[in-house]
Amino acid sequence: MKTLPDAGFPGGNIAVESVEGNAIRVKPDLRDTEGVWFYWCFRMQAAADSVYRFVFDRRVIGVRGPGVSLDGGMTWRWLGADAVDGNTFAYTFPGENRDVRFSFGMPYQQSDLERFMAGLRNDERVAAETLCSSRKGRAVERVRFGRLDGGAAFRALLTCRHHACEMMANYALEGIMIETLSDSEDGRWLQRHVEFAAVPFVDKDGVEDGDQGKNRRPHDHGQDYGLDTVYPEPAALRVWTEGWLDGRPAVALDLHCPGPRGNFHESVLFPCRVRSPENWARMAPFFAALEKGQSGVLAYRRSDGEDFFTWDGKPYRPPERLRGFSPWAETLPGMRFAAPLEIPYANANGREVNQETARAFGRDLARALCRSLSAD
């Protein structure tokens, strides 16, 4: 028995082109994407010990091979580069007639957030709220945590999934929350002095529908903070954030994932020095605390951000009527710094990125925020 690759589940994305024996030609479903992008995620069931080759139309397999899940997407592992030959990977299916999921990365959906938040349901330091409804009527979550009585000295805004496919950011967000709510010295300080607000899925429909999100026409959610706002999530976030901050001292981090491989795409990176030198300079204490105090597997090097120019090597020219999240957040009264953060999908300075190492890096981020803000 066998079935074809299927994308009929939250986060699914694949287009099947042809089947030739045990070779299946597939490609990412680009939908309303301008140009090409690399996200894909599908499931398939096949007879035990059968071997299938999945042949893509271009190079869209990451540096550690595809992500593989045998439990419906709850846990993932990298299949490994040895299973990859150019644009093709091979897989031997296990027994028990199980559905196997494959993906470019390690997907994180609304069900993952709900599972994580269930463990915090009775925690008075956490408030699960709704920012707005998406275009398709889905509730867009907003989570506040830390000191929630209005007396926090600092406020910190965290966002993920301005580009729907950049899922590793959510594991880091979990890590930030875990460390902040822990009984560590840093966690206790953050609970006394910082009120966090996080939007785990800015492009909620894109996340659940399995869209690329990046370069969505007419523009993506990450560029929706200027004059031509078209999506409900950025519009609601702008209004709510301005009232929530009300001029108080604040920081903002916009968590992303870069491209599939090579150069800066395999580094933990804050790509904002060229665009905003003043903002970069204000971040120096945070950078120093992160580089010195990191204890997780993923390595951060400030020099990577200093060497970064632009992704395509061309001078940065902001669009006339569009604006990204960080350039908008920098303008808010009281904002100390606002920056995008790129967390690689699979490989960070030679070290493996996965669910656990991304969470551990999130804990490093929380500790760095504590140590830089507490020295203020």
pLDDT per position in the chain (376 positions), as tens? 458 999 999 999 999 999 999 999 999 999 999 999 999 999 999 988 999 999 999 999 999 999 999 999 999 999 999 999 999 999 999 977 689 999 999 999 999 999 999 999 999 999 999 999 999 999 999 999 999 999 999 999 999 999 999 999 999 999 999 999 999 999 999 999 999 999 999 999 999 999 999 999 999 999 999 998 999 999 999 999 999 999 999 999 999 999 998 888 999 999 999 889 999 999 999 999 999 999 989 999 999 999 998 887 777 776 778 899 999 999 999 999 999 999 999 999 999 999 999 999 999 999 999 999 998 7
Q: Which tokens is 234 given?
A: 């950025």
Separation of first and last alpha carbons in the chain: 64
- Backbone torsion region of residue 339, taken as left when φ is above 0, otherwise alpha when ψ lies between -120 and 50, otherwise beta: beta
Kind and range of the H or E element at 128?
Answer: strand 126-133
15-103 and 110-374 agree in CATH topology: no
Rg (CA), the chain: 20
Domain boundaries, the chain: 15-103, 110-374
What pLDDT is attached to residue 2?
57
The SS3 of residue 8 is coil
In this structure, the number of other CB atoms found within 10 A of the CB of residue 218 comes to 11
Measured CA angle at 107 (ends 110, 268), to 5 deg: 115
Reference 345, options 106, 57, 31, 130; nearest CA is: 106
User: What is the C-alpha to C-alpha distance for residues 135 and 356, in angstroms, rounded to an integer?
Assistant: 32
Query: What's the farthest any 2 CA atoms get from each other in the chain?
Result: 65
- H helices present in the chain, as ranges: 110-118, 168-180, 185-193, 204-209, 232-245, 277-282, 284-293, 302-307, 325-330, 355-374
What pLDDT is attached to residue 95?
77
Kind and range of the H or E element at 143?
Answer: strand 139-146
Reference 113, options 42, 72, 169, 170; nearest CA is: 170
Q: Verify cis geometry, omega within 30 degrees of 0, for the bond prior to 5.
A: no
Reference 81, options 298, 262, 346, 342; nearest CA is: 346
CATH number of 15-103: 2.60.40
The SS3 of residue 225 is coil
- Backbone torsion region of residue 291, taken as left when φ is above 0, otherwise alpha when ψ lies between -120 and 50, otherwise beta: alpha
Beta bridge pairs of residue 54: 24, 89
Reference 89, options 106, 103, 75; nearest CA is: 103
What is the CATH architecture assignment of 110-374? 3-Layer(aba) Sandwich (3.40)
Amino acid making up residue 111: S
Indicate if the alpha-carbon torsion angle 27, 33, 36, 38 is positive or negative. Answer: negative
What pLDDT is attached to residue 312?
79
